[in-house]
Each structure stands twice: as C-alpha cells, then as structure tokens.
Amino acid sequence: MATRKLSLRNCRVGVIGLGYVGLPLAVEFGKHFETLGFDIRPERVVELERGRDSTLEVSRAELKSADRLAYSTKLADLKRCNVFIVTVPTPIDNYKRPDLTPLVKASETVGQVLRKGAVVVYESTVYPGCTEEVCVPILERVSGLKFNEDFYAGYSPERINPGDKEHRLPTIMKVTSGSNPEVAAFVDSLYRSIITAGTHRASSIRVAEAAKVIENTQRDVNIALINELALIFNRLGIDTQEVLEAAGSKWNFLPFRPGLVGGHCIGVDPYYLTHKAQEIGYHPEMILAGRRINDNMGAYVATEILKLMTSKKIHAKGARVLMLGLTFKENCPDLRNSKVVDVIRELEKFGSKVDVYDPWVDGAEARHEYGIRPIREPKARDYDAVVLAVSHREFKEMGVAKIRRFAKSTHVLYDVKQLFARADVDGRL
C-alpha cells in the first residue's frame, strides 16, 4: 500500500495555520524535516520571516533554530508536501453551535494539493467523528482521491497552553491516531520525533477526538461547580477563597478557583461535544448546566461591582470604570473569547464609561475583535471603580496602593482574580 513508501526519511511537512497551535508545531518540525508553514494572512508570514511572533509563543531564537522551516501564503508551495497538519481554529457561532468554516476551508485547501500516499493530520478540536464525517469527504471531493487507498488521515489533538513557558509543545505528551494501523504507527512515530514527553497512541481517530474534547469539558464542569459555590457563599456572607483554602487542606481536594471562563478551549470545546450528543438524541444536562453557569459569570461580576458602587453612593450612569486586563488569561496577548468583555458590556448597559488598560494587548486586534480601544496608561484619581480582571504580573507588581491611586477618593476596587487579600479590596469573586 502507498503508506509503505512514506517514512520519516522522506517527510515534507506542511502546517496549515500559523497561530498559537500551528507555529510552535511548525518550528519543532522545522528542526528535523523540510517544513512549510502555510497561512492565509500575508502579514503573519511577513512578521515570521522577519523573526517576530506577535503571539509571543515562540522567541526569535526559537524561530531561527528551525533551519528547515519556510513560510508561505501560496497554495502552489504546499504541493511539495506529503504530510499535512491542519491547525486552524474551531470556534462556535452566536448560537453556541460549532463553526466548522475554518476547518472546511482548510480541508478544501489541502484537497487541492493532495497527492497519492499523503497523510493529513488534524489537530483542531472537534467532536468525535468530525474528521472522518466532515473533513475526509471534502478531501476526497476536492482531490478526486479515495480515502484509505490513495491518501490517509490522522488526528493528534493540540495541547498548547498559551502563555505557559513551562509546559511547551515538546514537554506535553501527545495523543496520536490514524485511519488504519499502519498510518497510526506512522503518525505516532512522526510526533515522537519532536515530542520528548512521549506519545499515547489511541485505537482510533474517534477516540482521540473524544479524548481532546473531554479534557476541557472536565475542567469547565469543575470550574462551574466552584463558580456556583461562590454564588452561594456570597449570599451567605462567606469568603469563597477562605472556604477553598480550608477545604484544600485535605490531600484530595481539587484546587479549582472561581473565575471568568473564556479562551479558545474551555469556553468553546464543551459545545462541540454537546452538539454531537444532541445530534444522536442525548441531552447532556451536566455539561450544559456548567456552561450556563460559566457563561453568566461576567454578568454576575458586573452586578457585584454595581452593588458595591451603589453602597458607596456612586451612580452607575456616568461612572468611570477602569478595567485592568482584557486577555482571557494572564501574561499572554490572547484575546480569543475573553469574558472580560461580558463584564464591560454589562457595565456599559447601566451607563458606565469603561476604560481598558492591558499592557499585553495589541490595540488594533482589540478594536477588530471587540470594538474596544485600550488606553495607553491610566490617569491618577480618574476613576470611580477599578476592576482587576486579569492577573498580569504587571498588576501584581503594582500592588493595591498603586492601583488605588488610579481612583477617586471614594471608589470601588474589585478583584476578579483573587490576586490580593480580601481585606485589601472592596470585593472579590
């Protein structure tokens, strides 16, 4: 069969999509194999060719170390590849349904350059069955080739954690799979060549897809539980953090914390699983309940801030609020699905004027994604309320005293991230 001709010795890898997932992958493969990083954004390719990564996931030195890596936006350049790895985003639409548009377009792109004997590996998060039910038929239609005879497929879910400098691509164990045993072995050996932590070969593509989607679903449900506990303890007048610290004194208590659940994974992936579950006639109650709780936390935080403002006779209408942080997590520029935006929108509904300050954010991206124009630097004594929304190290280094200097004499300081002691702030989640 054709896959016998394909070995690590003659691999020419094409990585489709050079975002938070694709670029680190292209860099690692580019140290070992002839690799092409393909992206539809010319500006992305230009910055990478100049040795700069705006996501801050890969350093200039790391980019330089991938001496067999080239970048392109030209479809023709992909024709020399025989292994294609698709790393495009898989978002949800306004109705919380999977939006497979990027995945479909990427599959059409690969289909145009697919040749006999090639292997297409998907890393994008999907529901079980998506690779073989949605992507493979597109590859067949566009290429005119037959699946598992002329070309083959694999699935190896991404496990990138944006902003994490300790857990990097090579040091995170990788799940692999293939469309037949021989392909599964090839895909596994391909990833083992760059993953020092090792691999876990799943028995099928569907198992690998399911494993990925439940990783973040499990975290989502656990955080939802803690968020619900925070809602209860707030009504009881008990500090949630004190309760969690006390319960955490037992060795097997899981250290989850309440918060805004956004980002490209936890706030999105569960909807892929629930979509598939409902498609086969099952209504997933616990997963969707957790999603409802977490999706409503932005509005809850805004309500708590408004209550504190009212208690200090600060009128919401016309009040100036400083939001410290816009990214979905600390110490990275990733704005995808940031739930800080929900807090901002809710405060604006009550007539408050919100300024956003985030030293990690690209202003043009914030305007494009959310219509928000971050300020360059907050002014002293200018705000009725200050909200610590993201625990960037810059804010931690500022300390409470300096942060309060941004506010008027009568003001509210609310700590979403529990960065400071309860006694040092007016309220916290």
Task: Catalogue the active-site residues.
Answer: 265
In terms of Cα–Cα distance, which of 15, 40, 7, 329 is closest to 156?
A: 15
Q: How are beta strands 427-428 and 152-155 bridged, if at all?
A: unpaired
Q: Which residue has the tokens 């629930």?
A: 274
Burial class (CB in 10 A: 0-12, 13-18, 19+), 401: exposed
Contacts of 62 (CB under 8 A, 6+ apart): 27
Residue type, 149: E
DSSP string, 296-323: THHHHHHHHHHHHHHHTT--STT-EEEE
The helix/strand/coil state of 63 is helix
Distance CA 203, CA 181 (A): 8
For the chain, the residue count is: 429
Distance CA 48, CA 60 (A): 9
The number of beta carbons lying within 10 Å of the beta carbon of residue 209 is 28
Q: Say if CB 119 and CB 84 are below 8 A apart.
A: yes
Please name every residue paired with 69 in a beta bridge, in sequence order, or none if there are none: 35
- Kind plus residue range of the DSSP H or E element containing 349: helix 340-349
Distance CA 374, CA 341 (A): 12
Distance CA 77, CA 38 (A): 9
Distance CA 62, CA 64 (A): 5
Distance CA 205, CA 131 (A): 8
Distance CA 338, CA 28 (A): 29
